[in-house]
Amino acid sequence: MSALRVAVTGSGGQVGSRVVALLRGLSVPVEIFAVGRARLDVTARDEVHEFVSALRPDWIINCAAYTAVDRAETEPERAYAANAMAVRWLVEAAERSGSRVCHFSTDYVFDGSLGRPYREWDRTNPLGVYGASKLAGEMELRTGLDLCLRSAWVMSASAGNIAATVGRLALSRTEMRFVDDQFGSPTSADDLAAATIRLILSSCSGRFHVVNAGAASWLEVARHLAACVGADPDLVKPAATAEMRERFPAPRPVYSVLEPAALAAGGFEPLRDWHEALAESAAQALEAGAWS
């Protein structure tokens, strides 16, 4: 059996680093070409073409993205370059090299007004620049070939994500405030990476919602994480989105819970409950001292 050739862009990011780690641990033969921003700037068309045509990978897992939701409001050109045009360059290069693209998108493509969890086929209507640029990226993908995995509220044991911020503050017994009026699907980067690899190994295409089971407000997520590191959950105080607008100016959907309807219809195992997944991330972080 010849090795599956997989290129991973944005490999230094939260999801990219987990995807690469899990690919390295696979028992099937895989050749991995992992590149961070320093090796491949996905917004540079020539670099993308050169990289893809030299390697001719079976799959390009695009973990590179502009993810600064609030900053995107004042930097739309940068958001669209990384989240939309870069996908065009990757798909264009993939088309010429016989490669397929696996791309990530977000719950922020929805406006949050539906009143029930969003399925893959529900109408999109992003409220902010980040969501709009991610939706533009989705539109570049090829039906029947590429994969579009929409996830949400992704967290991991590594530093530099919301779970790490909560963990650090909770461990130092510092009070913090989280909104109790935005609801979503908290998701572990490890579980997202594992599901990504399952879908690739099954040669799937199309759009999937890939999130841990269950829904929560940010307040519930932060209180759960505080409890997981052995701190008092009441260190986390409730706040309203309106009160936090100065710190978080980008508009966000109030209810963007994702239903993994395509995974269920395709006979794939649903991801486990978010409480268990984030408890595992917290335990890993405690063991590694990553949130201290």
Ligand X SMILES: NC(=O)c1ccc[n+]([C@@H]2O[C@H](COP(=O)([O-])OP(=O)(O)OC[C@H]3O[C@@H](n4cnc5c(N)ncnc54)[C@H](OP(=O)(O)O)[C@@H]3O)[C@@H](O)[C@H]2O)c1
Binding site for ligand X (CB under 6 A): 9-10, 12-16, 37, 40-43, 63-67, 82, 104, 106, 134, 151-154
Closest CA to 192 of 281, 114, 266, 117: 281
Measured from the CB atom, is 74 or 172 closer to ligand X?
74
Residues 6+ apart with CB under 8 A from 274: 185, 186, 187, 188, 211, 212, 213, 214, 216, 221
Measured from the CB atom, is 153 or 218 closer to ligand X?
153
Query: What residue has token string 């395709």?
Result: 266
Q: Tell me the closest approach of the beta carbon of residue 134 to ligand X, in angstroms.
A: 6
Measured from the CB atom, is 47 or 181 closer to ligand X?
47
Measured from the CB atom, is 31 or 41 closer to ligand X?
41
Q: Tell me the closest approach of the beta carbon of residue 236 to ligand X, in angstroms.
A: 19
Query: What residue has token string 């590429």?
Result: 146
Other CB atoms within 10 Å distance of the CB of residue 200 = 21
Q: Tell me the closest approach of the beta carbon of residue 168 to ligand X, in angstroms.
A: 17
Q: Tell me the closest approach of the beta carbon of residue 230 to ligand X, in angstroms.
A: 25
Q: Tell me the closest approach of the beta carbon of residue 88 to ligand X, in angstroms.
A: 13
Please say if 130 is a catalytic residue.
yes
User: Which entry of 80, 108, 130, 255 is annotated as an active-site residue?
Assistant: 130
Q: Which residue is nearest to ligand X (CB)?
A: 13
Measured from the CB atom, is 15 or 278 closer to ligand X?
15
Residue 183 tokens, joined: 């609801």
Angle between helices 218-228 and 274-288 (to 10 degrees): 40
Instruction: Decide: 223 and 233 in contact? Cβ < 8 Å.
Output: yes
- The H-assigned helical ranges of the chain are 14-24, 45-55, 76-80, 86-97, 129-138, 162-171, 189-201, 218-228, 261-265, 274-288
Closest CA to 148 of 83, 92, 213: 83
What residues are labeled active site?
130
